[in-house]
Structure formats: structure tokens, C-alpha cells
Amino acid sequence: MNTPLPPLGRLLPVGLGCLLGGSLFAASSGPRFYGDPPDDHHPWAVHDGNRPQPKRVTPGTFSSADRPGNPPSDAIVLFDGTDLSKWQTDKGAAAPWRVVDGMMEVVPRTGGIRTREEFSDCQLHIEWAAPAQVEGSSQGRGNSGVFLMGRLEIQVLDSYDNVTYADGHAGAYYGINPPQALPLNPPGKFQVYDIVFRRPIYRNGQVLDPGYVTVFMNGVLVQDHTMLEGPGGHMGRTKPGPFPEHGPLSLQDHGNPTRFRNIWYRPLPPRPAEGGTDGWLTAEAALAKRAATAAEIRADAATLRDQSDPLPEMQRLFESLVYAPDAAALERASRLAAEYVAKLEALPAAALAGKKDEVKQNAEILGYLAKFKILPADFAPRTALQGMIKAHGWDKR
Ligand code: MG
């Protein structure tokens, strides 16, 4: 939903972050004291102006039957059609597969190849084509495989008009879960896999996140956040268990001259279970993130100390209390608020009238803090500001 900002959001200073170049707040903007505050499992308020901005990515282009597309700007390219320098055999020798017309082709019986680089959680894009000339049947037809972390296989098979066991079709998490559909192009044409892979996370033998794999084949969902149950494989039923931190991407030599092109991946940000600081967190992690955010805001507040204008520091200190209580910050912000009220009360009526918007803004900030019990409902400076607003009729339209 795209709701216009209320007056408070428009009035509040949104450029304070610029003062903190490079820190959490460098790219932040947006309303403060606005949406519901952080809670036991959410370290950010709703619509939080301090929440880090998502990174900017220039999108790539989609592939056509004849031509591979371009990767997005932050992708790590594993094969761009020119050479196999990023690939090796299982023993570390140069990859013996052929590069032809911008594609790599399995040279049967030379063995599988794998990336020199190792990684784990990723968005993986890979395109493959089974031989145009159909030979063999079932698992013998256009068989290869994409092995995530060198372990679990997302099957590559010419499943176009080909019957085999369901958990061995193209798009299967091999031996574990069949694809939901077989949206294949005819043999010889390229198929596109877009895969989202999350490895299992264990701590002290306890599973924190079992890991999941999602696969789109030619834009059609074939694995829907399928829970990992070990590496899978031929005939044996595998069990869930920990994976290493990193592993290569491996491609299988199953004796068929399958072709691949346009292979790239994007590493994924950490999940809460492995130290990510956004999304639904454990109470312990949410509290830690809230404390860290509050500390950064308090450090920013200290740079805003200004005898002639206590408001920026006061507002920032109050903002820090939204994330975590702090007796010293509360004491100083309360004193600045009392000083602010005393200054207002000393102003001639005409001068005070010119501060209508400012007074209303600060009353709203204190009202937000009272609403969420960060300040007591009878916080004296708030009561004083409310009194001024009422006395001048500023609460009426
Ligand atoms: Mg295979």
C-alpha cells in the first residue's frame, strides 16, 4: 500500500543520517516516530526510516531460445560462453569439456566439472540443452545434473516426452522430490533454471533451519521451497544433516553431450538463524540489534549538541529510546524537553505563534512515545505542549 505521509512524517527531519557518512544511517530517510515500534521479534519499526536501504541492482535481460540474456549487475558469472577458467575437475585439473559457440558441452566420460570458487546460499541461474538428436530413454537420455554445493542434484534430463521415475526427472531434487511439472522445450533447445538455495544450518547438533531449494524451470515453479533431506542420490534415502559452510557448484558427466550456457549466481544475505539482522528474529537477536541501533542513534545525537537549538539532539535521543531503554539518554532528553518548554513559555505571544508547527511536531513525537509507553502518559513537557496547543486553538482546523 502506498499511503501518503501524514503531517508528522513530512515535518520530521529526515536528513540527519547524512551526518553519519558510512554508518547504518548513511542511506536512511523516511519518517520517524510513525509506524508501530520494534518489538520482541522485530528490530525495526513499521516503515522505519533507520532500516537499511536495499542495495541497488541493475537488472539483466532475459534469454531467448537463440541467445542467452545478460546477468544482473551484482551477479558473479561462472560461465559467460568464452572459457572454462572458473571450472576444474574433481582433482583440480583443467576442465576437459568443450567450449563451442558460446556454450560448454559435456565431453562424455571425462568426468564432472566443478567451480574453483566455493559458495553456499545463492540465487543460481543456469541454462542447459539436451542433445538435439534423441538417443536412449529414461535416465539415459540427455542426463546431466546441477549439484548445489557439490552435494544435492537438481536433475538435468531430456524429460521432453520421456518417461522415467518421477524423482529423477528434469527439475527433480534427485531421489527426493519430483518437479511439480515438466515445462520443457524440445531437445536441442535451451532450458532455463533459476534456483534459490539455502543450506541447512545447525548449531550444537540442533537444526536451526533445515535448508530449502526452490527451482523455476523456464519460468515455471517446479520445486517450491522444498525442505532439504540430505544430498539425495541414487536408490538410497538420505537424511537431513549439516552441510559445510561452502562448496562448489558441480555439473555431472552422465555420458551425454549436454550443453550449458549463461551460468551465474548471486550470494544471498544471511538468514536470522545465521546472524541476519532483518526479518523475524529470535528475542535475543532482536534485542541485540535494537540495542546496537539505539547506540548508533545516541552516538549521532551526541554530534547534534547545540546550545542554541536543543531540538535535534532531543529528538534523536528520544528516537533511540524507541529501540532500547537507556537511563542516561532518557534523563538528558527529558531535561532538553523541559528546557525547550521553558524557552517557549518565555516567548512573547507573537513569537510563540510563529512556532506553531514546531510545537505541534514535538507534541506529536512525545505523544508517539507515550502511546507506546516509552514515556509516561503524564510526561510534563508533553502536558505543557498540549496546553499551549489548546490555548492557541492549534488543535482546531
Ligand atoms: Mg543427473
Residue 253: give its domain's CATH number: 2.60.120.560
Domain with 143, as residue range(s), is 76-274
Q: Residue 98's beta-bridge partner residues? A: 105
The answer to whether residues 180 and 246 belong to one domain is yes
Interval between CA 245 and ligand 1 midpoint (Å): 24
Interval between CA 144 and ligand 1 midpoint (Å): 4
The answer to whether residues 86 and 172 belong to one domain is yes
The answer to whether residues 230 and 253 belong to one domain is yes
The answer to whether residues 82 and 186 belong to one domain is yes
The answer to whether residues 256 and 295 belong to one domain is no
The answer to whether residues 205 and 266 belong to one domain is yes
Interval between CA 280 and ligand 1 midpoint (Å): 37
Q: Is 60 left (phi over 0), alpha (psi -120 to 50) or beta?
A: beta
The answer to whether residues 105 and 236 belong to one domain is yes
| Residue where a domain stops, chosen among 274, 299, 325 | 274
The answer to whether residues 145 and 202 belong to one domain is yes
Q: Is 131 left (phi over 0), alpha (psi -120 to 50) or beta?
A: beta
The answer to whether residues 114 and 135 belong to one domain is yes
Residue 380 within a domain? yes
Interval between CA 252 and ligand 1 midpoint (Å): 6
Split into its structural domains, the chain has a count of 2
State the residue for C-alpha cell 560448454.
Answer: 104
Residue 290 within a domain? yes
Interval between CA 155 and ligand 1 midpoint (Å): 5
The answer to whether residues 173 and 310 belong to one domain is no
| Residue where a domain stops, chosen among 242, 274, 306 | 274
Tell me the pTM.
0.87
The answer to whether residues 145 and 212 belong to one domain is yes
Tens of pLDDT, residue by residue, the chain (397 residues): 344 333 333 334 433 333 333 344 433 556 688 899 999 999 999 999 999 999 999 999 999 878 999 999 999 999 999 999 999 999 999 999 999 999 999 999 999 999 999 999 999 999 999 999 989 899 999 999 999 999 999 999 999 999 999 999 999 999 999 999 999 999 999 999 999 999 999 999 999 999 999 999 999 999 999 999 999 999 999 999 999 999 999 999 999 999 999 999 999 999 998 889 899 999 999 999 999 999 999 999 999 998 889 999 999 999 999 999 999 999 999 999 999 999 999 999 899 999 999 999 999 999 999 999 999 999 999 999 999 999 999 998 7
Residue 245 within a domain? yes
The answer to whether residues 259 and 319 belong to one domain is no
**Torsion, CA 358, CA 360, CA 363, CA 365, rounded to 10:** -70
| Residue where a domain stops, chosen among 274, 297, 330 | 274
Task: Mark out the alpha helices in the chain (DSSP H runs).
Answer: 7-11, 283-302, 311-323, 327-346, 349-353, 356-371, 380-391
Interval between CA 71 and ligand 1 midpoint (Å): 25
C-alpha distances (whole Å) from 327 to each of 60, 152, 362, 381 are: 50, 52, 21, 18
Residue 173 within a domain? yes
Residue 108 within a domain? yes
Alpha-carbon distance of 103 to 260, in angstroms, equals: 6
